[in-house]
Amino acid sequence: MSQQTAQAGTEAQPAKKLRNRHVTMITLGGIIGSSLFVGSANVISQVGPAALFSYAIGGLLVMLAMRMLGEMATARPSIGSFMEYARSGLGEWAGYLVGWLYWYFWVGVVAYEAVIGGAILNGWFPVIPSWVFAVALLVIFIITNLVSLRSFGEVEFWLASIKVAAIIVFLAVGALFIFGLWPNATPGISNLWSHGGFAPNGVWPILSGVAIVIFSYFGTEIAVMAAAESEDPARGVRQATNTIIWRILLFYLGSVFLIVAIVPWNGLPDTDDQGPFAYLFSQYGIPGADLIMTAVILTAVCSVLNSGIYSASRMFASIAERGFAPKFIARKAKNGVPVAAVIASTLGGFAAVLVSFLFPDSGIFDFIMNSSGLVALFVYVFIALTQVRLRSKMSPEERSQLKLKMWLHPWLAYLTVAAVAGIVVIMLVSGPSTQVQVWTSLISVVVLVAVWPFVRRNLKKSGQYGKPITEAVEAPMGE
């Protein structure tokens, strides 16, 4: 790259970066998905009011992982984030594994959300097959991501705004309901202990519930990836990391508290199409509560589709830049978008969507969903081990200059690894559904490990093996 070209790219950079308001709303809304609006009912039905503890323990694990990621990201913002740090701290093999696993996870999520979105729209317009809506949603958000980085940021800004607004209204009305300030409200929080006690099924379901809720939180790291493409990466990373605590407390613990306090935990509707949020809005006496919440859930689905395509494509481009995938995947258009990575990342989504509708009994779609189930936990382990390793490589002066530090280093990092191991054990003994997730996820890891020797050989041939990150990366994404 010539000096003139580099200078021109630098001058054009601000027009292509995410604005601070984009990063702020991605940070706020990134943790809110359909798993909160609908999936929280599954946890509550198994755990009871003590589901609050399940969400708190899971939130603590996410908070620790984000703090460690934040320490590394503020020191060196990167689009590939934890893949780059794993590569630098643990070796090429670690970057290869975590990069591919993370990409595979989001391909599965994109497919899953497209199917859910198609089902919601089919409920509104039953004359049109749900697979048509699923494919249409994929096409819409592929285009959104291809137009420009700003296009992704703007769409995500408004989608996240709707989710955040819905949560705030839910919390505000719920608080009024509990204090008897809402029409026809029954004040009090006696439902927390009046139906079999606070933990009606004992302590063990609280721990097994953590294995379920941990996947609801996954996606918080998108804010760190997006911050690396913002006008002020260091500020964006600090914001994403420092606000994770109150986001978990407000959005998840606050919402779950209202649900189990206002409605008996065993009185929630046992249906997948009406989540606890829709049920409580109907209890509030709000007209059209079901329709409103269905629209909000569709918004959440679209948000995850949009951000999932973004995350998968950025990680895929980073994988290709490091030599872990064909180089053409990393090529960027004039607007800075990795077009090949966006398209390639959604091909798996299209395939999974079509398989789910054409061959619903084949088990292929279920395998894709289950085999990416443990990726969140794998990523947290890599983040913890990498943070410990990179901190140990720093000089005392470098450590003193860190703008964001992990608490109680390295003990909380080790606690994170131990907690992940505990969750995996719990999943193995909890029943067939979680056991399937563990074993199918391990199949994905085994396949990647088997391919690694060939990838390593190609890296050595190209001279990229072991090359420092600053040499391997030509320019940050979006420039």
Q: What is the CATH number of the domain that holds 109?
A: 1.20.1740.10
Do the Cβ atoms of 259 and 39 come closer than 8 Å? no
For the four alpha carbons of 440, 442, 443 and 444, in that order, the dihedral sign comes to: positive
Residue 185's pLDDT is 83
| Within a domain: 301 | yes
Residue 18's pLDDT is 84
Do the Cβ atoms of 216 and 33 come closer than 8 Å? yes
| Within a domain: 4 | no
| Within a domain: 109 | yes
| Within a domain: 166 | yes
Q: Which tens digit of pLDDT belongs to each residue from 307-346?
A: 999 999 999 999 999 899 998 999 999 888 999 999 999 9
| Within a domain: 15 | no
**Token couple for 399:** 């450590």
Q: Which of 52-56, 59-63, 231-235 has the lowest mean pLDDT?
A: 231-235
What domain range includes position 59?
Answer: 21-472
Q: How far from the centroid of its chain's Cα atoms is residue 233's Cα?
A: 19
Cα–Cα distance, 80 to 473 (Å, whole number): 10
Q: How many CB atoms lie within 10 A of CB 358?
A: 9
Residue 319's pLDDT is 92
Cα–Cα distance, 277 to 283 (Å, whole number): 10
Do the Cβ atoms of 347 and 108 come closer than 8 Å? no
| Within a domain: 343 | yes
Q: Which tens digit of pLDDT belongs to each residue from 253-281?
A: 999 999 999 999 988 876 555 678 888 88
434 or 460: which carries more pLDDT confidence? 460
Q: How many CA atoms lie within 13 A of 287 on its CB side?
A: 0
24 or 41: which carries more pLDDT confidence? 41
Residue 365's pLDDT is 63
70 or 468: which carries more pLDDT confidence? 70
| Within a domain: 163 | yes
**Token couple for 141:** 């958000």
Cross-strand bridge partners of residue 18: 230
The total of structural domains in the chain comes to: 1
Share of the chain above pLDDT 90, in %: 36
pTM of the model: 0.87
Residue 475 binned pLDDT confidence (cut-offs 50, 70, 90): very low
Mean pLDDT value across residues 199-205:
89
Q: For all residues of the chain together, what is the average pLDDT?
A: 84
Share of the chain above pLDDT 70, in %: 89
Residue 9's pLDDT is 38
Q: Which tens digit of pLDDT belongs to each residue from 423-455?
A: 889 888 887 877 888 888 888 899 999 999 999
Q: How far from the centroid of its chain's Cα atoms is residue 379's Cα?
A: 11
Residue 8 binned pLDDT confidence (cut-offs 50, 70, 90): very low
Mean pLDDT value across residues 53-69:
91
| Within a domain: 13 | no
